[in-house]
Structure 1
Amino acid sequence: MAPATAAENALDTFVGRVQDISTIPAIALKVLDVANDPNSGAADLKDVLETDAALSARVLRCVNSSAYAVRTKITNLQQAIAYLGLKQIRNLALTASVSEMFRTEVGIDPYRRTGLWRHLVAVGICARLIAKRRPLANFEDAFLAGLLHDIGIILLDQYSHRHFRELIGRLDQGRPLCELERNVFGFDHCQLGEEIARRWSFPENVRAAIAHHHNGVMYRGEEVDIIRCVAVANLICSLRGISSVGRNLVQIPLWAIQGLELTKTDIVVLAQDMDSEIQDNRALFEL
């Protein structure tokens, strides 16, 4: 076995620090466990959510928002799961729990944690929209992959804030974000996110999107369409001013656009339709 490189050592050390002080709320990891288990069902998800009354209340508030147009108010999780289905409630629960990572505002112009959160939710919404129109059967998985695709960025911010400030100071160089990250940290947010996702047992399609949303041209696995949806959604949101770090450094992912057989007109229409999608799902940004 070849000796580990300096970059690999740097990544392993960083991941160890994150593992020692888990950032993602425990309830989110329990929800992911249910999502990963093919033998789990609605009752299992309900049991997990009921251990956190505040989270359950936030999920129910979102279910009763204008986004889902319920005719009669839904008052319990069993009704919510029956109405929206297991995957949508899973996504709402994860959105609500992961949002806790962004509660403490930190501003390093042009970056804001709240701006990164808005980017993650918007990419999730847009990835789901693209997946529906392709159409892909697992479009709710596209939302989850989009929501978590940049999880590595918030971890860099929280666990190495001094170096993260240095990174943000270099954004005006105009180089791709991953390249800047590798220069500062020795690894990038995709590599960090992929390793954390593996250790925390994220679903395979989410792990693939985290790892490859900036460069999926060489990916040959089964999750290629999810990766493409997230990559195109990332582009659209960044072009519309909803970027991860306050600057649009996203390179056009031709491999994803061509793979999904999207035309220039398709991209324009998707970008236009994002406004109404975000408005309809505004409750997600406030969870």
Structure 2
Amino acid sequence: MLRPDYESILTNPSLPSLPTVALEVLDLASREDVDLGDFERTIECDQAMSVRILRAVNSSYYGLGRRCGSIRQAVSYLGIQTVKSLVLGFSLERAMDFGDDEITFDFTSYWRRGFITASAARALSGECSQVDTEEAFIAGLIHDIGMVGAWRVHGDRYLQMIDMSHGDDLDLINIERRVLDIDHPKLGSAMAEFWRLPSDIVDSISRHHDDPGSMGSDDEMARVLRLAVMVVDFLEQDESSTISDIQDIESRAFEWFGVDREGLVRLIESIVDDAGDMAGALRIDAGRMPPVEAILHRARRLIEDIPGHEEIQIDNSHQDSIDPVTGLPGRDALVSDLESCFRTTRCSKGDLGSASISLLLIGIDDVRRINEDLGDLGGDGVLSHVADTIREVTDSTSGTVGVYRFVGAEIVIILRGKDETETIDLGESIRRFIAHKPVRIDGRDGESDFLTVTTTTGIGFHGFGENHHATETPDALLRAAMCAVTVGRRAGGDRIIFHDENDERNIRLA
């Protein structure tokens, strides 16, 4: 229920409003029994929207192997949730086209910040099994929509408030509360609720500037968006960044999502490029993206200035060496074994066959839906079943170095001495074996049921010879597999994606 004092703002004719097509698409996408035909026909009613979606889907950002010629194919290739995100992005841009107002809101900066936050939120949601990646993207994209709403209602008065805050978000919120009796996170949340967006998105927008210490383990979407905003704040700062800024981000990333220092650097490297590519695919002017290399240099310099940083050890005493759900070694063992493989490979380049290293990153599809339908115990049962199935296949596979629990609902296999074809064949065998072996699950009501599970596998390959470029580090190999999984999930899941250093897009359908 919306607060009564918000009603006058939300019903103000100056406020951005979503077109009927977008509202209908959001409503259809939220239904468990959505009719794909209705979903497609609703989008096709807006010809301009359809053209923009197809143009975006066929861009290099999505890297499809074949050209998409219809909304039906777009839904088939990318899935309902991704297409919904495109519809919302295009609709918001259209809703914010206010012509040549003399007093203008800085939409270029708004979209730049929105795309980077969306990219960061989607990347972080991959570390969190309870958060849908596309919902995280939407939350990031529109997290500051309340600022647009406040400007439309209050005009130049609100622009003066922005100037008075000198770029400090908390100062702006205090000014908003004092002058308007509402702040932009609360207004944005009310707008999202008015548009009938999912409750997780509504709540996270409301809290995206809250004290991180106030967010518990059940507030996963709020944590994802809050950390994404913290990362973007750092990216947009100049030399005024302090040690405490990077320390706070680093500690929250590890505490909330198990992302260590190197993982955080990889995140920063990837999100700016991803945001720029996404803005280009949607043809929305987001201006110049922050300079990644300069930002990383600044971050590393600040880390080096942390007193005693060389001696800092991450406390893993609360983590068992064997994952209790799957019975598999955890991430520390994975990193250690992968580094060992690279060390021995450097000594055996003369034997090109034995020098190859393959890494398969296997992620369970639709984890959030599984957990919502079956509860955490049911989700753990699915993960345990998948782990057992993978072990069953790899136990009889020569060259298997190990099988490991990675993060969330993802499992990693390391292989030695396998070529590309052998690696892909093994991945396909595992994918089919899991899909054709339903898992028996005890639901919340105490009754048992059988569930068919699908997976998306990303493959990174380290090899030598005239057809290969050696992936130079263990981190690069793992990052290649993670990139491939992301591409596979964007394309709808239930597939294998091979990260190919020779391909100009770096990925291909296996």
Interval of TM-score (by shorter of Structure 1 and Structure 2): 0.7 to 0.9
Distance 1:26 1:57 in 2: 17
1:108–1:168: 8 Å Cα contact kept in structure 2? no
Aligned residues: 272
- Does residue 248 of structure 2 align to residue 234 of structure 1? no
Which residue of 154, 158, 167 maps to 1:164?
Answer: 158
TM-score by length of 1: 0.82
Task: Tell me how far 1:256 sits from its aligned partner.
Answer: 5.3
SS of corresponding position for 2:126: helix
- Does residue 261 of structure 2 align to residue 267 of structure 1? no
Task: Tell me how far 1:268 sits from its aligned partner.
Answer: 2.8
Q: How has the CA–CA distance of structure 1 residues 151 and 255 changed in structure 2, closer, same or farther, with 3 Å as cutoff?
A: farther
| 1:115-154 equivalent positions in 2, closer than 5 A | 115-134=109-128, 138-154=132-148
- Does residue 192 of structure 2 align to residue 200 of structure 1? no
Quote the residue 1:278 is aligned against: 275
Task: Tell me how far 1:141 sits from its aligned partner.
Answer: 1.6
Task: Tell me how far 1:113 sits from its aligned partner.
Answer: 1.4
The structure whose residues are more often strand, as a share, is 2
Q: How has the CA–CA distance of structure 1 residues 276 and 133 changed in structure 2, closer, same or farther, with 3 Å as cutoff?
A: farther
Q: Deviations over 1:50-83 (max 9, x none)?
A: 1100001000000000011122211101111111
Larger radius of gyration: 2
SS of corresponding position for 2:32: coil
2:103–2:156: 8 Å Cα contact kept in structure 1? no
SS of corresponding position for 1:17: coil
SS of corresponding position for 1:187: coil
1:163–1:185: 8 Å Cα contact kept in structure 2? no
Distance 1:136 1:172 in 2: 36
Q: How has the CA–CA distance of structure 1 residues 172 and 15 changed in structure 2, closer, same or farther, with 3 Å as cutoff?
A: same
Distance 2:36 2:19 in 1: 21
- Does residue 30 of structure 2 align to residue 36 of structure 1? yes
Which residue of 11, 17, 27 maps to 2:6?
Answer: 11
Task: Tell me how far 1:115 sits from its aligned partner.
Answer: 1.3
Task: Tell me how far 1:134 sits from its aligned partner.
Answer: 4.1
Q: How has the CA–CA distance of structure 1 residues 240 and 173 changed in structure 2, closer, same or farther, with 3 Å as cutoff?
A: closer
Q: How has the CA–CA distance of structure 1 residues 169 and 195 changed in structure 2, closer, same or farther, with 3 Å as cutoff?
A: same
Q: How has the CA–CA distance of structure 1 residues 90 and 145 changed in structure 2, closer, same or farther, with 3 Å as cutoff?
A: same
Quote the residue 2:180 is aligned against: 185
SS of corresponding position for 1:103: coil
Unmatched runs of 5 consecutive residues or more in structure 1 = 1-7, 243-247
Q: Which moved more, 1:137-146 or 1:75-84?
A: 137-146
SS of corresponding position for 1:271: helix
| 1:37-186 equivalent positions in 2, closer than 5 A | 37-104=31-98, 112-134=106-128, 138-172=132-166, 174=168, 176=170, 177-186=172-181
Q: Residue type of the partner of 1:203?
A: P
2:143–2:205: 8 Å Cα contact kept in structure 1? yes
1:166–1:184: 8 Å Cα contact kept in structure 2? no
Q: How has the CA–CA distance of structure 1 residues 173 and 32 changed in structure 2, closer, same or farther, with 3 Å as cutoff?
A: closer
Q: Residue type of the partner of 2:224?
A: C
Q: How has the CA–CA distance of structure 1 residues 239 and 272 changed in structure 2, closer, same or farther, with 3 Å as cutoff?
A: same
Task: Tell me how far 1:84 sits from its aligned partner.
Answer: 0.8
1:63–1:80: 8 Å Cα contact kept in structure 2? yes
SS of corresponding position for 2:12: helix
Which residue of 204, 207, 210 maps to 1:209?
Answer: 204
Distance 2:203 2:189 in 1: 8
Distance 1:35 1:282 in 2: 23
Q: Deviations over 1:27-72 (max 9, x none)?
A: 2222211122222143232121011000010000000000111222
Q: Residue type of the partner of 1:241?
A: E
Distance 1:28 1:193 in 2: 17
- Does residue 22 of structure 2 align to residue 25 of structure 1? no
Q: Residue type of the partner of 1:212?
A: R
TM-score by length of 2: 0.48
Q: How has the CA–CA distance of structure 1 residues 276 and 114 changed in structure 2, closer, same or farther, with 3 Å as cutoff?
A: closer
1:127–1:146: 8 Å Cα contact kept in structure 2? yes
Distance 1:45 1:173 in 2: 41
Highest RCO, 1 vs 2 (Cα 8 Å, sep ≥ 6): 1
SS of corresponding position for 2:17: coil
Q: How has the CA–CA distance of structure 1 residues 88 and 156 changed in structure 2, closer, same or farther, with 3 Å as cutoff?
A: same
Q: Residue type of the partner of 1:112?
A: D
SS of corresponding position for 2:18: coil
SS of corresponding position for 1:240: helix
Unmatched runs of 5 consecutive residues or more in structure 2 = 285-510
Distance 1:267 1:82 in 2: 33
